[in-house]
Amino acid sequence: MKNSDTPLSTDTSRHALISRLARRVREVRKQKGLPRRVVSELSGVSPRYLAQLEAGEGNISIALLERVARALDVPIEALIARKITVDSEAQRIARLYEGASDDVRAQIKALLGSQVQGNPRTGRICLMGLRGAGKTTLGKAAADALGLPFVELSTMIEDETGMPLSEVLSLYGADGYRRLEAEALEQVIKRTGPVLMSVSGGLVEQEAPFARLLERFHTIWLRTSPAEHVERVRAQGHLEPIKDQPLAVAQIKSLMDKREPLYARAEAQIDTAGRSATRSLQDLVSLIVTEKFVKKPDM
């Protein structure tokens, strides 16, 4: 009798496991506000297979499940454990957070981050501003002077995709690039230790990633005049020869005016207009040390 009951018992346990797994994947995905399409892109599991998984109709291998768990940013055991004890008040707060706007979520993250013992931004610095302000040139030099690793999100994206930025933008579009940049930012955040990083000029217009940036990094706005922005970008070979210089300067000025309130949220700023690279580097390193964003190593 015992042996004859085993297949039925095993079948029941298997069904319970699949149902529990389906429910957990649905719940976690919705709590994190991730469309199934995004989870598919992050995990490499097809949307159709994910739909079957969430409906309790598919058998998934441990390898694929582990990829789904990584995409959802949860440990794999959280998806298959029999019981996960969660305080009812925590569940209520989680539901309120799920229905909150991006702005409210960003404020909550910043508030909670400030409660963590120690400052998560210590030794972690980010340079932001329009292209041509000197983020890459000064960033690399300052990182070398301070003994910090230098990270550029655009380079990370090129390394990840195996394509230059022009092809990334052509293939993925602006929305796809923003998603890739947000993912690269999260990768840097998860790293331990000091770092000096630079981001694209447009990241500040992405509400959630910008909130994460302000929460996890000491931020410095590098700025210069519209005319110097145009000249520096052209010198870098990123612009075709400009026939209408006044028009190009006017376009840069318009973009600067639009983003200035966002850039102004940085903890500090340096104006590189009319200054040599050597003087600007001195200003940047001095600011970082004076503000105690990081300690300058003994020479």
pLDDT in tens, 1-51: 444 444 545 667 777 778 888 888 888 888 777 778 888 888 888 878 888
pTM above 0.85, yes or no: no
Query: Cα separations (Å) of 19 from 51, 61, 68, 182?
Result: 13, 15, 16, 33
pLDDT in tens, 242-286: 455 666 677 778 888 899 999 999 999 999 888 888 999 999 999
- Structure confidence at residue 82 (pLDDT): 62
- Structure confidence at residue 40 (pLDDT): 84
Range of the domain at 13: 2-85
The verdict on 123 and 220 lying in the same domain is yes
Question: What total of structural domains would you count in the chain?
Answer: 2
154: Cβ contacts below 8 Å, ≥ 6 apart = 165, 181, 200
Q: Is residue 218 assigned to a domain?
A: yes
Confidence of residue 205 (pLDDT cuts 50, 70, 90): very high
Select the highest-mean-pLDDT range: 83-97, 169-183, 203-217, 249-263: 203-217
Confidence of residue 116 (pLDDT cuts 50, 70, 90): very low
Q: CA 167, 203, 157, 66 torsion: positive or negative?
A: negative
- Structure confidence at residue 285 (pLDDT): 94
The verdict on 11 and 72 lying in the same domain is yes
- Rounded Cα distance, 158 and 139, in Å: 18
The verdict on 21 and 81 lying in the same domain is yes
- Structure confidence at residue 227 (pLDDT): 79
Q: Considering 35, 61, 85, which residue would you say is the last residue of a domain?
A: 85
The CATH number linked to 258 is 3.40.50.300
Q: Which of 275, 231, 238 is nearest to 252 (CA)?
A: 231
Instruction: Please state whether beta strands 195-198 and 268-271 pair in parallel, antiparallel, or not at all (unpaired).
Output: unpaired
Q: Considering 34, 62, 85, which residue would you say is the last residue of a domain?
A: 85
- Structure confidence at residue 149 (pLDDT): 95
Query: Cα separations (Å) of 165 from 90, 162, 171, 181, 234?
Result: 42, 10, 10, 11, 17
Beta bridge partners of 243: none
Residue 290: pLDDT over 50: yes
The verdict on 54 and 140 lying in the same domain is no
Residue 177: pLDDT over 60: yes
Q: Is residue 238 assigned to a domain?
A: yes
Q: Is residue 169 assigned to a domain?
A: yes
The verdict on 170 and 261 lying in the same domain is yes
The verdict on 186 and 139 lying in the same domain is yes
- The answer to whether 38 and 76 have CB atoms below 8 angstroms apart is no
The verdict on 178 and 279 lying in the same domain is yes
Query: Phi first, then psi: what are they for 147, rounded to 5°?
Result: 70, 35
- The answer to whether 189 and 163 have CB atoms below 8 angstroms apart is no
- Structure confidence at residue 299 (pLDDT): 41
The verdict on 80 and 150 lying in the same domain is no
Q: Is residue 92 assigned to a domain?
A: no
Half-sphere exposure of 124 (CA within 13 A, CB side): 17
- Structure confidence at residue 103 (pLDDT): 75
Sequence length of the chain is 299
Per-residue exposure over 63-95, b if at least 16 CB sit within 10 Å of its own CB, e if not = ebbebbbebbebeeeebeeeeeeeeeeeeeeee
Q: Is residue 235 assigned to a domain?
A: yes
pLDDT in tens, 130-160: 888 889 999 999 999 999 999 999 999 998 8
Q: Which of 209, 222, 205 is nearest to 267 (CA)?
A: 222
The verdict on 70 and 184 lying in the same domain is no
The CATH number linked to 52 is 1.10.260.40
Q: Is residue 106 assigned to a domain?
A: no
What are 2's two structure tokens? Answer: 């015992």
The verdict on 220 and 151 lying in the same domain is yes
- Structure confidence at residue 63 (pLDDT): 77
Q: Is residue 19 assigned to a domain?
A: yes
Q: Is residue 114 assigned to a domain?
A: no
Grouping H, G, I as helix, E, B as strand and the rest as coil, residue 219 is: strand
